A and B are shown apart, each in its own frame.
Chain A
Amino acid sequence: MNPSSREMQGMASSAQIALQDLQNGQHHHHHQQIQNPSLHGGHFDHANDGAVGGTGHDDFLDQMLSSLPSGWADLGNSKSPWDLSSGDPNGSSVAGGNKEVNYAPYDESSLLAARLRQHQISGGSSPGVKPLMLQLNNLQQSQQMLLQAMGRSPTGSGPGDSGLLLPLTLGSGGAGEVDVPFKSPNSTGGEGLYNGLGGTIQRAAQAATQQQFHHAQQAQNYGGAPATGVPPPSPAAAASGGAAAPPRQRVRARRGQATDPHSIAERLRRERIAERMKALQELVPNANKTDKASMLDEIIDYVKFLQLQVKVLSMSRLGGAAAVAPLVADVSSEGQGGGTARNGGANGISAAAAAGNDGLTVTEQQVAKLMEEDMGSAMQYLQGKGLCLMPISLASAISSATCHARPPSGARHASNPVDGTPSSPNMSVLTAQSAMANGVGGGVGDGSRTKDAASVSKP
């Protein structure tokens, strides 16, 4: 069966190419087209990725081969449906003429080739559908008649006649539905197809609907055709179609992995977790940890830090340390990530120490006094004011960096001395000097300050 389906698939692409030739409009190209598929039959295997009804096509082929010879006799008799569907007296006469003309050169091979071509035209791959539609819309009437004539189906679904009905009625069980597109070859026609397909196996239904969709496009030129024949043939055709096309919906697990549902679910869950961890890694700074546990530690610390920042900001928002804002805003409003925001937060808080000129010295002295007694109380005092301690080197580095970023704020030197480069080192120095003056050694002060900075960053 496979070779034949491949051949048919090849036929589809060749049929498309042939149809393009058809589009140019000479109906005597029929013969060329009929011969071409046989020439190029085996070459085009790639075109049909949407070979939905592949196995179904095989069945179609068999039935076509078996039933077609007998069907030719009926073609001459059942002319009335054509009159109804085409609504064009010229078309019917042409069809009759063409019928006779085209029967002659058909031996078995060409007949088969032609039928395959039509079948592929009807049940072609999905990428081929759209160009197929366009081409079919431009088909000349004689060519359409030819297709109709060749496709006259003997299975008795009389009203469903078009050249492409043959394969449909034989195998897909959707022959009845072909009439629906005749009525209105647009989405409503498609819905009608679906209604007709209600009871069929989905695969057969898909094949049928695909083919019918093709037919819909072709049938546009026939004009409106009554869809009276749709309901009666469809149940019978549907049953036959259902038997013909085996269901092929199976969950395909990846190669080399267990198809056990538990392991699949476990794999999905692990993939989801890995996905989310990757997203988190992008958010959190210092995310170069490969271990999940350390990554989680980083995440936890970062969340705690952000929440602390919000708390501090809410404290600084009220009356007192309004000058905390400038430096914090400098760093944060630059739109940088949490890393700089972290430093900015700490820096801004330390900048608050430099904010109120008058209050600064008092604060410093107070802090120094507290530091003598107990670092904890000193820290609490500072935190009550929304401040913290940080190493002088870090403060100077950050303030120099932010000074470059905010030159225009130099005008506010008086009220926000932290913006200027010389000021914050001075402040830090002042803090150190006052601390030293109060009896705390410079080195000790720095050391304790470093320690305090460390303790502040990890509450």
Chain B
Amino acid sequence: MVISNLEGEIASKEGERKRKRKGEVRPSQSKWRLDSEQKTYSSKLLEALRCVRAGAPAEPSRTRAVREAANRALAMAARGQTRWSRAILSSRTLKLTAAKRRRAAASRLKRSGGASQEKKRPPAIQRKARVLGKLVPGCRQLSFPKLLEETSDYIAALEMQVRAMSALSEILSSIGSGSGAPPPA
């Protein structure tokens, strides 16, 4: 009750904080490994794919549309708890991707100009952290520990995405070929 809670708080405040932090990191991995999560994602992906099929029949744009739909479905599955998922969901417009390409080209020009200078100035780890930040959506200007946390969740989510998409394509192909192969678990 109230009194015993107070005692517990004062006694183990540090431990609780550590436990809370660990609790944030751990469930991300176990969450993306759940079969239920994969099934949820697969069904969402199927819906998205149907829309894409109807929408953009041209080959290259269709590929990109499929990939975007898959990423968006993955971000939805994250339930908005991670930065990268929010960045994916909030930044998916054609205008934005064109702007990104322009920005990437500009930065590449700049970098090639400055590549002659010594690269040791920013420590190697910081450089790699920047590269990683560019890879994970929405994590460019993030502190290092936060970036690592986002990366671990992103990697787990990507793994689940690959598993789900490959399983889905097998089912689709088996349907397409018309044989009676047993569906994967």
Contacts and interface: CB of A to CB of B under 8 A. Distances in A.
Nearest to A273: B145
B149 to A, nearest CB: 5
A314 interface: yes
A126 B179 contact: no
Interface in A280-336: 280, 282-284, 292-293, 296-297, 299-300, 302-304, 306-307, 309-311, 313-318, 322-326, 328-330, 332-333, 335
A201 to B, nearest CB: 13
B41 interface: no
Interface string B1-44: 11110110011000000000110011001000000000000000
Contacts of B172: 317, 322, 325
A416 B174 CA distance: 10
A345 interface: yes
A52 B7 CA distance: 9
B158 interface: yes
B89 interface: no
B29 A296 contact: no
B155 A283 contact: yes
A338 interface: yes
Size bin of chain B's contact surface? 35 or more
Contacts of A85: none
B136 A303 contact: yes
A191 interface: yes
Contacts of A345: 162
B135 interface: yes
B3 A310 contact: no
A254 B118 CA distance: 41
B78 interface: no
A404 interface: no
Contacts of A313: 70, 162, 165-166, 169
Contacts of A411: 179-181
Interface stretch (B92-100, B105-113, B126-134): B126-134
Nearest to A277: B148
B151 A299 contact: yes
B158 A310 contact: yes
Contacts of B87: none
A310 B177 CA distance: 23
Interface stretch (A150-158, A161-169, A206-214, A389-397): A206-214
A213 to B, nearest CB: 5
B156 interface: yes
Q: Which of B26, B170, B179 has the most CB of A within 10 A?
A: B170
A296 B129 contact: yes
Interface of A: 50, 52, 126, 129, 186-187, 190-191, 193-194, 206, 209-210, 213, 269, 272-273, 275-277, 279-280, 282-284, 292-293, 296-297, 299-300, 302-304, 306-307, 309-311, 313-318, 322-326, 328-330, 332-333, 335, 337-338, 341, 344-345, 348, 408-409, 411-412, 415-416
17 contacts: A50-B7, A190-B3, A209-B6, A273-B145, A276-B149, A277-B148, A300-B131, A300-B135, A303-B132, A310-B165, A314-B64, A317-B66, A318-B66, A326-B174, A328-B166, A335-B163, A348-B166
Interface of B: 1-4, 6-7, 10-11, 21-22, 25-26, 29, 49, 59, 62-64, 66-67, 70-71, 124-125, 128-129, 131-132, 135-136, 144-145, 148-149, 151-152, 154-156, 158-159, 161-163, 165-174, 176-177, 179-182, 184-185
Give 10 nearest A-B pairs by CB, closest first.
A329-B170, A325-B169, A276-B148, A314-B66, A322-B173, A306-B158, A187-B1, A325-B170, A314-B67, A296-B128
